Structure formats: C-alpha cells, structure tokens
Structure 1
Amino acid sequence: MELAVLLFFAGTLFAAAITPGPGIAALLARILGQGTHGAAFFVVGMICSDLFWFTLAIMGLSAIASNYELVFTALKWAGAAYLLYVAWGMWNSGGIIPTQANAAPLNASSRMTSLLAGLTMNLSNPKVVIFYMALMPNIVPMDQINLLAYWELVGTMAFVLFSVFGIYSVLAVTAKKLISSKRAFQRLNRGSSMVMVGVAATMVTR
C-alpha cells in the first residue's frame, strides 16, 4: 500500500476517532469512576471491534452484515446493559476513590469481562459502523488491498486508535487526580454514571 494512502487513512481515522462519541464517553466515564483498573483490556476490546468492522468492509461483506440485524441488535442491547450495570455500581460507590491499593486483583475473568465489554459496546457504536462501512471504501482503494496491504492498514489502525484512546485516558487520569475529597468524587461518580446511562440510551435508540 502506498505511503500516501496509509497517511490519508491514518489522518481520516484519527479525525473520526478523536471526535467524542459513545466509545470515548464510555471510556472516560469508566476511568473517572473506576480508575485505570482493567481499562487497557476495555480499550483492546474496543479496538477489536474496529478490526471486525474493518475486516468486514475489506471483504466486501457490508451487504451481508445488513441481513444479520438481529445479531447486531442483540450486541447493542448487551453493550447497553453492561453500561447500565457499570453506571449502577458507580452511582452507589459511596465516593470511594479507586487506587491501586484498594483495587481487586485483575484475574483472567475480570480481564475477559473488560475486554468483552469494550467489544460489545463498540460493535454497536454507530460512528464506528458508519466509518468502516460507508466512509472507508472512499478513502482506501479497495481493489488494491492484498494480504500485505491489509496488515499495513491494520497496523496503522491499531497505532491511531491506541494513540487516541491513550490521549483520552491520560486526560481522564489527570482530571481524577485533581479530585481528592470523598464528596467531590461521589459527585464525579454520579455524573459519570449519568453519562453511562446517556450512552446506553443513545446506543439502543439508534
């Protein structure tokens, strides 16, 4: 794949990803409410969903995907249910500020839960679906994609998305460090939980 195409794809993807949407809102609310515990696996799950839609677009299966509306509706509701579950926990957290000291051990089950949460939530993210299914075919010459070009694009996509999610994660961690009182953190938790509810509502109504 030509460098100019990769750079254009990277720039367009960065502009789309950096724009706040349901995925970014969920990531920020999760870090603000629960700290960075398990956030990396949540991010990996989100990126895996991008990879799924990217691969589907490359294979020219967007028309086929539209016939599996029931499956994607189920994923949408599963992602929304997880967000509501997290929102409920954050609302009732009592203002306990999460730290590495009081965080529960990150075992295989919690890693998988975080990864699947990011995956299911972002699979039904309309912004992601629209980018890969509608916009990407106009950004990348689909007829020039071979196995090498595919992996070049995947590497570019992973780099851009990790960078964007990393930027937002650092901003969330920095904001959380500025809050030291229990009452203030409880308010932040409840505000973040309301964001989660809003994201869940947006997901199921689109």
Structure 2
Amino acid sequence: MSFETWLAFAAASTVLLVIPGPTILLVVSYALGQGWRTALPMAIGVALGDFTAMTFSLLGLGALLAASATLFTLLKWAGAAYLVWLGIKLWRAGGAMDAKPRADAASSLKMLSHAWLVTALNPKGITFFVAFLPQFIDPKADLFPQVGIFAATFLVLAFANAFTYALIASRARNAVRNPRTMGIVNKIGGSLLIGAGIATVGLRAGQS
C-alpha cells in the first residue's frame, strides 16, 4: 500500500466523520449537559462502536445486510428506536443541566455504552464499511495488513473527531447555563436525535 493511498483514505474518512450524524448529536448533547469530562468516555464509545461495525462488516455481516432486507430492517428499527428513546429523554430534561459534571465510573460507563450502541446499531455504518474500504484495497497485496492499517486509521480519526466535538460543545456550555436557554438546547438536541432515528428508518437496504 502506497502512502498516497493511505493519505486518500485518511482524507476521505475525515470528511465523512466530520459531517454531523446521530453519534455526534449524542456526543454534543452529553457535552452540553455535563461538560468536558464527557469527551473521553464518549470518544471511546464512538471508537468501539465503529470497531464493532467494522468487525461485522469484515466478517461478512455487511454483505448479508445488503442482501437481506429483513435483517437490515430489524437492525434499522433497533437503532432507530434507541435514538428516539434518547431524544425523548433529552427533550423531557427541560432546562436541567448538571452544574457539577459527574466523573464517577458509573456515569462514564453509561456515556460510553450509549455512544457505542448508537454507533454500532447504525446499519448504515456497517454497509458503509463494506462499500468504502474495498475502494482502497490493493488486490495484489496482502489483505490483512492493509485492513489493519485502514481500520486503525479510521478508529483513531473517529476517536479524535468525537473528542473534538465534545470539547467544543463543552466550551459552549458556559454560554447556555441559563435554564431557559438550556431547555431550548435540550429540546433542539432531543428533536434532532428523534429526527435522526426516524431518518434511520427511511434508509433502504443496500445504501451506504
């Protein structure tokens, strides 16, 4: 694999990751609510979620999802329902915002698991890896070293992207300490998460 190929993969991955999706909406919502301490567990959760989706893809689940409308639909509804549930919770939070972000293991584990589930349960992510990775694979070279490098690159970028979004949102948190303002932010964030869940249901099997 040439350096140019790796650089093209890294650049394409960065562009795709920077575009906000359900995962980033969740990261931003947590960061606004609990501050910068959410950055690390959320970023780890996102990376683990992408690793899960990538692993399923490499094991052939992505191809199965693209071929099986029933399986794709089941996974799609599971992911959509989880997003809607999170959105409703955020909407009902009103103007609540923790003045002192919790840094205990339980809350960190909860944030990590939420980020992992939202990322891993997105069927679009699984089919995306199936369609995306092969474009950069050299069939004349050993497969596993290439896949390993590409996977590690993508996971590092996914971690950095989520971490950066969380830090930026946590800085903006100081500007939304007013309960009324935070209530509006929670409602907007909740609506976006619910909308993302509904949009997920609209995905057709085989789309990347």
Q: Choose which of 185, 193, 197 in structure 2 pairs with 1:196.
A: 193
In 2, Cα distance between the equivalents of 1:69 and 1:49? Answer: 22
- 2:136 counterpart residue number: 139
More displaced 10-residue stretch of structure 1: 27-36 or 89-98: 27-36
Deviation, 1:13, is 0.5
Deviation, 1:82, is 2.8
Aligned 1:58-69 pairs, distance under 5 A: 58=58, 62-67=62-67, 69=69
Deviation, 1:181, is 1.3
Contact 1:39–1:114 (CA under 8 A) maintained in structure 2? no
In 2, Cα distance between the equivalents of 1:40 and 1:87? Answer: 22
SS of residue paired to 1:178: helix
In 2, Cα distance between the equivalents of 1:78 and 1:9? Answer: 30
In 2, Cα distance between the equivalents of 1:90 and 1:52? Answer: 26
Deviation, 1:17, is 0.9
Q: Choose which of 120, 125, 128 in structure 2 pairs with 1:128.
A: 125
Cα 1:180–1:57 shift into 2, 3 Å: closer
Deviation, 1:69, is 5.0
In 1, Cα distance between the equivalents of 2:129 and 2:180? Answer: 42
In 2, Cα distance between the equivalents of 1:126 and 1:62? Answer: 8
Cα 1:56–1:4 shift into 2, 3 Å: farther
Q: What TM-score, normalized to structure 2?
A: 0.78
Q: What TM-score, normalized to structure 1?
A: 0.79
In 1, Cα distance between the equivalents of 2:189 and 2:80? Answer: 15
Deviation, 1:12, is 0.9
Where does structure 2 lack aligned partners over 5 or more consecutive residues?
204-208
Contact 2:25–2:193 (CA under 8 A) maintained in structure 1? yes
SS of residue paired to 1:195: helix
Contact 1:78–1:120 (CA under 8 A) maintained in structure 2? no
SS of residue paired to 1:144: coil
- 1:46 counterpart residue number: 46
Q: Choose which of 148, 155, 162 in structure 1 pairs with 2:152.
A: 155
Question: Is 1:98 equivalent to 2:98 in the alignment?
Answer: yes
Deviation, 1:2, is 3.0
Question: Is 1:167 equivalent to 2:172 in the alignment?
Answer: no
Contact 1:29–1:196 (CA under 8 A) maintained in structure 2? no
- 2:7 counterpart residue number: 7
Q: Deviations over 1:118-152 (max 9, x none)?
A: 23322343553453121321123255244433332
Deviation, 1:18, is 0.9
Contact 1:75–1:120 (CA under 8 A) maintained in structure 2? no
In 2, Cα distance between the equivalents of 1:102 and 1:55? Answer: 33
Letter in 1 for 2:77: W
In 1, Cα distance between the equivalents of 2:121 and 2:54? Answer: 14
In 1, Cα distance between the equivalents of 2:25 and 2:125? Answer: 14
SS of residue paired to 1:64: helix
Contact 2:83–2:193 (CA under 8 A) maintained in structure 1? yes
Cα 1:92–1:64 shift into 2, 3 Å: closer
Q: Percent identity?
A: 25
Deviation, 1:33, is 4.0
Letter in 2 for 1:79: G
